[in-house]
Chains A and B, each alone.
Chain A
């Protein structure tokens, strides 16, 4: 186990440096990219803090649409399998899976949840507004 600071604390430190030091001492392109970089690090912090909860919820939603499946134990395997299940879902939608009103309603509810979780990470202001 690594010592403190945690990943979250280190990301916070670098994001703060970019925002408070680099941005205040630069203009133009560097200033803009420092802002983007600081925002990216803040986004990474939110992703790391929420990912277990979000991926678990997405898995459960896919269970409801594609059928029950036990989730892989390791994080990497879970992520790889989620990608495959989403590929499966995308292919089914392309073939008319959601033309049925009942399926469409359940699918929209699932997509609302997963896209909202993505926004909580990538654009919390929009997520709070929605």
Chain B
């Protein structure tokens, strides 16, 4: 969208929602990145009977009209709201959008910090943050997993397990289908991994809200550690162990030596998660999801390279991601041989 359109529409939106007498909107800036989503920052100065207030806000919207392909994207406001109500560290949700822009949008308060994974792992200023983050993540994850389907009719459109099938099956099938559709060449390691997943499908029926992309890179942090869990568009109903396994995926450690997000010891993390009210940790199921997670990221590296191969993108970065598939194959072999760390 054009800045002038956002400026005008957002000013009246904030005035209506806040019931302020006057709203002055300043510093509207579109953040770079994210072709699937537009993110703008703004400062709204509110003037009303009760006095003055400044909201440091974020405006998130779809780039084009229509129903988003991922239910989690359409429901991002409600997801953050449900998480906020459980005490998860997330940006404070302000107001869900209406139809004034013709695209889905919502607003939330800005949180301080940054999200680049490698910076948390290597930044000299983040020594204390590295120490604090594992327990903070464990606590937020336990709270995310307290969001139950029965209590949230507004979140029912999120995808979930197919009744009568193992919780994991729909997800394994989904990534296997996109692998078979996308891959330009054979990957024996992936075949071995898919077969292992089918043969070791967990039968547990724990089912709760799963963030779906709970990993370094989707956490805002500063010197004080975790400031906000972001990027909820892959949220779904499923096995809570899935988020624990995804957090341990090798690529999401960004070179960090510890398994959990590159900074957390595995067992200490599980203990903190359970102590915060999370589900009892089933280590075998976490390994299942960790293996699935490495395979999932491997399939994504192939899909990204295919965007270059078929001419959808000319990016040298996307092209070179095709050569990162081997890293996921190596980690899959470690996990298949029981040599994961």
Contacts and interface: CB of A to CB of B under 8 A. Distances in A.
Interface of B is mostly: helix
Contacts of B191: 90-91, 93-94
A116 B331 CA distance: 11
Interface stretch (B213-221, B287-295, B316-324): B316-324
Contact of A122 (B185, B195, B323): B323
B333 A111 contact: yes
A40 B187 CA distance: 22
Contacts of B337: 108
Given A33-B316, A40-B316, A93-B195, A115 B186 contact: no
Contacts of A91: 186, 191
Contacts of A31: none
Contacts of A43: 320, 323
A119 B188 contact: no
Given A86-B186, A112-B333, A123 B195 contact: no
A36 B317 contact: yes
Contacts of A122: 323-324, 326-327
B326 A115 contact: yes
A96 B198 CA distance: 12
A83 interface: yes
Nearest to B337: A108
B189 interface: yes
B326 A93 contact: no
Contact of B189 (A39, A99, A111): A111
B323 A115 contact: no
Interface residues of B, number: 24
A94 B113 CA distance: 46
A98 B333 contact: no
A107 interface: yes
A25 B320 CA distance: 23
Given A36-B317, A36-B320, A43-B323, A107 B330 contact: no
Interface string A81-98: 001001101110110101
A36 B329 CA distance: 22
A96 B195 contact: yes
Interface in A58-102: 83, 86-87, 89-91, 93-94, 96, 98-99
A39 B320 contact: yes
A89 B188 contact: yes
B192 interface: yes
A123 B188 contact: no
Nearest to B250: A126
Contacts of A118: 326, 329
B336 interface: yes
A121 B322 CA distance: 13
Contact of A126 (B188, B320, B327): B327
Contact of A115 (B194, B317, B333): B333
Contacts of A1: none
B333 A33 contact: no
Contacts of A107: 188, 192
In this complex, the member of A43, A111, A121 whose beta carbon has the largest number of chain B beta carbons within 10 angstroms is A111
Contacts of B189: 111, 115
Interface of A: 32-33, 36-37, 39-40, 43, 83, 86-87, 89-91, 93-94, 96, 98-99, 107-108, 111-112, 115-116, 118-119, 121-123, 126, 130
List of 4 A-B pairs having minimum Cβ-Cβ separation, nearest first? A90-B186, A118-B326, A93-B191, A122-B323
Given A37-B316, A86-B186, A118-B329, 6 more contacts: A94-B194, A99-B195, A111-B189, A111-B192, A121-B323, A123-B326
14 contacts: A33-B315, A36-B316, A36-B317, A86-B185, A87-B185, A87-B186, A91-B191, A94-B195, A108-B333, A115-B189, A115-B333, A118-B329, A126-B327, A130-B330
